[in-house]
A and B are shown apart, each in its own frame.
Chain A
């Protein structure tokens, strides 16, 4: 039971003060940077979203990020988070801690990155022929049932993308924050609502509080329900509106598709 919680749980940082930036303090004079200490802190705090090698899991690939944004900006993000995203604030990490993490991320910049092994050009064709755009949008083209993919290559590593193509209902994203104060609610979680007249609606949760829920069905229609008026409301963990491509795509096609998705990094 405990193990199940470990794997299914939302590993988001809940700082002792919720949704509050670190207190303004006096300017801190940083000591010598210690990338090894930064690595240890990264493994304690960041790997669940960014992956053990910082190439991205649920959170983005961080290779090259300090070089692109600047050390101070990245250290600031580590401590303050990015409001409205899954990146939480953490004032248990000191400015020195954050600087050490940035120092370690820098040391990765020159390290070889695990690249997607397939052919992105062929992958684009796989994307087109597999019906993905019925539900997913890239640069404004496609459906809005599933996640928008214009930046997916920056947000997720290749291994993570492949795992989702094989078993879309497993390890659904659980961003910190979310739509309630509790935070960390699973996105794209499928629900089955049964009204007292017997009508059944299946859809992904797009909004919920303790007394109401809004589901989006496979056609993209929204259905709002008052929970006390429902006969039954069930979560359907493991299920997804997206089919598995495990048996419909060959291993090569899968790699090509992952390679294509990995190139989607939005406007640079």
Chain B
């Protein structure tokens, strides 16, 4: 999984010998083996999984588009999903052998020719007329691929396996009951023979979990709950009566270390969100990073970012894995920029806290203690009249993927400078109502956003590029010395990965540009692929 940067030339050479004019869907029949997934970062012409590789660095070794020529980048084609526009596009595309797999709101999977944008197939599940999506976007963040099968979680909480060539259903598993608030929006994570999925709906009294299924058959393999059963270790961090209490959604996509055989998956807030009076204690394992044994789902370690959260600071952000030297010793690390406003670096073998510091303005904690636990400021709890704090409920950053460049050793993250009054409400979830209060956000000209580059090991800021609105967008770092990102107002842009200097921008104009960027190469050309408003856009050089 280590990034060696020597083979860019050989990748380019392989691509150059392919005939231009015909999209080489060469290995569709071969399928995407686990071995190919393990080596995802050495086949940058494909984008094989959420985050780009198992380390979720969202970094590409492609360098055809680079600092010198990125100003020439132009749209090659667009694709407009046939949806109502009520929900934002949030898909992170998969590219395998010249075919792009995207999801469209709410749960449609579509395969496109990656060079031309031509639709190959599209599959839409029949969703129930009444669908409960409390605190859940009616959207989807992408598929996973293994062999010649594509996996997707649907809004009514089914896991579906589709034939990658035709879109035909191979099997369907009913993961959970949407009538109790369970939904699925995250891209699954596939590893050797298994499909790992999280669950959405943690703003009501669900009991969150991470699930594993057999990739061939859909057979359930293991489940790891994010809220302990009564009597289990950790249950003492909750109140006695769990009626109307719950949460701990797992609506991001976790990362994986094949050598340690550990899955890293973040967990969401406890519910009701803004009133914690009937859930005294730390509320384990909400707002945690969990390290799970991939074979059994057994928890190897946990780290809780926000104990007893009352601000909706889900910790489902993508854990970015990287190796670096800390105090002269090589360490296996996990980095996460949290909705609570802090950037954390953990030892991913043990879960030990190494570094943590704010990457945006935050007013709720004085800092973190030596174990990474927040040292709270007084009077931060929500009240019926509202308590003002930075950041707001959408947090310093949200679900959108950050990136890490092994060249610059920087962590690139969409950052939000925004405060809100958090208002406490009901003390129990009153399904299908949204439990426990709300917030009044101070937006507009009183807030702003930025793309920030942090020293990945220390969290110190290296540069920022300011945006007028608090962004909820992804970043993509490349060997071309670039960081691609977008603004909430519908601009795509490229920054110099070393300095943050603006090198290219393109206005699409649709808001909701939160879908994660990917890049790939087909028929000798590198493409940048992103979504804004109701459109997917593929860019390439002339």
The answer to whether B467 touches A2, judged by C-beta atoms less than 8 angstroms apart, is no
CB within 8 Å of B: which A92-111 residues: 92-94
- State A183–B86 Cα separation when bound (angstroms): 17
| Residue among B131, B136, B419, B488 facing the most chain A CB atoms (10 A cut-off) | B488
- State A55–B421 Cα separation when bound (angstroms): 24
The answer to whether A210 touches B434, judged by C-beta atoms less than 8 angstroms apart, is no
Residues of A within 8 A of B489 (CB): 179-182, 208-210
- State A21–B439 Cα separation when bound (angstroms): 16
Tell me, rounded to whole Å, the shortest Cβ–Cβ distance linking A98 to chain B. Answer: 11
In the complex, which of the residues B132, B137, B439, B469 contacts A182, with contact meaning CB atoms closer than 8 Å?
Answer: B469
B394 CB–A CB distance under 8 Å: yes
The bracket for how many chain A residues form the interface is 35 or more
B160 CB–A CB distance under 8 Å: no
In the complex, which of the residues B420, B425, B445 contacts A189, with contact meaning CB atoms closer than 8 Å?
Answer: B445
B352 CB–A CB distance under 8 Å: no
The answer to whether A14 touches B388, judged by C-beta atoms less than 8 angstroms apart, is no
Residues of B within 8 A of A91 (CB): 134, 434
CB within 8 Å of A: which B428-447 residues: 430, 432-434, 437-447
* Smallest Cβ-Cβ distance to B467: which chain A residue: A210
CB within 8 Å of B: which A14-38 residues: 14-17, 20-21, 23-26
A244 CB–B CB distance under 8 Å: no
- State A24–B129 Cα separation when bound (angstroms): 9
In the complex, which of the residues A5, A11, A20 contacts B138, with contact meaning CB atoms closer than 8 Å?
Answer: A20
Tell me whether A210 and B440 are in contact in the complex, defined as CB-CB below 8 angstroms, given that A20-B86, A235-B445 are known contacts.
Answer: no
The answer to whether A13 touches B87, judged by C-beta atoms less than 8 angstroms apart, is no
* Smallest Cβ-Cβ distance to B426: which chain A residue: A94
Tell me, rounded to whole Å, the shortest Cβ–Cβ distance linking A192 to chain B. Answer: 15
Chain B interface, >50% SS class? loop
Chain A interface, >50% SS class? loop
The answer to whether A12 touches B445, judged by C-beta atoms less than 8 angstroms apart, is no
Tell me whether A182 and B443 are in contact in the complex, defined as CB-CB below 8 angstroms, given that A20-B86, A210-B491 are known contacts.
Answer: yes
The answer to whether A16 touches B505, judged by C-beta atoms less than 8 angstroms apart, is no
CB within 8 Å of A: which B395-454 residues: 419-421, 423, 425, 430, 432-434, 437-447, 449
Tell me, rounded to whole Å, the shortest Cβ–Cβ distance linking A159 to chain B. Answer: 22
CB within 8 Å of A: which B244-274 residues: 273
In the complex, which of the residues A174, A185, A210 contacts B487, with contact meaning CB atoms closer than 8 Å?
Answer: A210
* Smallest Cβ-Cβ distance to B424: which chain A residue: A44
The answer to whether A9 touches B512, judged by C-beta atoms less than 8 angstroms apart, is no
The answer to whether B425 touches A182, judged by C-beta atoms less than 8 angstroms apart, is no
* Smallest Cβ-Cβ distance to B435: which chain A residue: A92
CB within 8 Å of A: which B10-41 residues: none
* Smallest Cβ-Cβ distance to A43: which chain B residue: B385
Residues of B within 8 A of A21 (CB): 86
Tell me whether A209 and B507 are in contact in the complex, defined as CB-CB below 8 angstroms, given that A48-B440, A181-B512 are known contacts.
Answer: yes
The bracket for how many chain B residues form the interface is 35 or more
CB within 8 Å of A: which B369-394 residues: 384-386, 388, 392-394
CB within 8 Å of B: which A104-132 residues: none
Residues of A within 8 A of B441 (CB): 10, 12-14, 184
The answer to whether A92 touches B469, judged by C-beta atoms less than 8 angstroms apart, is no
In the complex, which of the residues B384, B444, B490 contacts A183, with contact meaning CB atoms closer than 8 Å?
Answer: B444
Residues of A within 8 A of B392 (CB): 14
* Smallest Cβ-Cβ distance to A15: which chain B residue: B438
The answer to whether A180 touches B502, judged by C-beta atoms less than 8 angstroms apart, is no
The answer to whether A181 touches B393, judged by C-beta atoms less than 8 angstroms apart, is no
The answer to whether B488 touches A182, judged by C-beta atoms less than 8 angstroms apart, is yes
Tell me, rounded to whole Å, the shortest Cβ–Cβ distance linking A4 to chain B. Answer: 9
- State A49–B437 Cα separation when bound (angstroms): 19
Tell me whether A14 and B419 are in contact in the complex, defined as CB-CB below 8 angstroms, given that A44-B386, A182-B468 are known contacts.
Answer: no
B338 CB–A CB distance under 8 Å: no
Residues of B within 8 A of A208 (CB): 468, 489
- State A135–B441 Cα separation when bound (angstroms): 32
A8 CB–B CB distance under 8 Å: yes
* Smallest Cβ-Cβ distance to A235: which chain B residue: B445
Residues of A within 8 A of B432 (CB): 23, 25-26
The answer to whether A11 touches B135, judged by C-beta atoms less than 8 angstroms apart, is no
Residues of B within 8 A of A16 (CB): 135, 203, 273, 312, 393, 434
Tell me, rounded to whole Å, the shortest Cβ–Cβ distance linking A85 to chain B. Answer: 15
CB within 8 Å of A: which B461-508 residues: 466-470, 487-491, 493, 502, 505, 507
* Smallest Cβ-Cβ distance to B448: which chain A residue: A182
Residues of A within 8 A of B419 (CB): 5, 9
Interface string of A78-97 (1 = CB under 8 A from B): 00000000000011111000
Tell me, rounded to whole Å, the shortest Cβ–Cβ distance linking A41 to chain B. Answer: 9
Tell me whether A185 and B445 are in contact in the complex, defined as CB-CB below 8 angstroms, given that A17-B137, A210-B468 are known contacts.
Answer: yes
Tell me whether A23 and B511 are in contact in the complex, defined as CB-CB below 8 angstroms, given that A180-B469, A182-B444 are known contacts.
Answer: no
B329 CB–A CB distance under 8 Å: no
- State A186–B446 Cα separation when bound (angstroms): 9
Known: A48-B440, A92-B438. 14 other contacts (CB 8 A): A9-B443, A14-B394, A14-B443, A15-B438, A16-B312, A17-B137, A20-B86, A45-B440, A180-B488, A181-B512, A184-B441, A185-B443, A186-B444, A208-B489
* A-to-B contact residues, CB < 8 Å: 2, 5-6, 8-17, 20-21, 23-26, 40, 44-45, 48, 90-94, 174, 178-186, 189, 208-212, 228, 235, 237
26 residue pairs A–B, Cβ–Cβ below 8 Å:
A5-B419, A9-B442, A13-B440, A14-B439, A14-B441, A15-B438, A16-B434, A20-B137, A23-B132, A26-B130, A44-B384, A44-B386, A90-B438, A92-B425, A94-B433, A178-B444, A180-B468, A181-B488, A184-B442, A185-B445, A208-B489, A209-B487, A210-B467, A210-B468, A210-B491, A211-B505
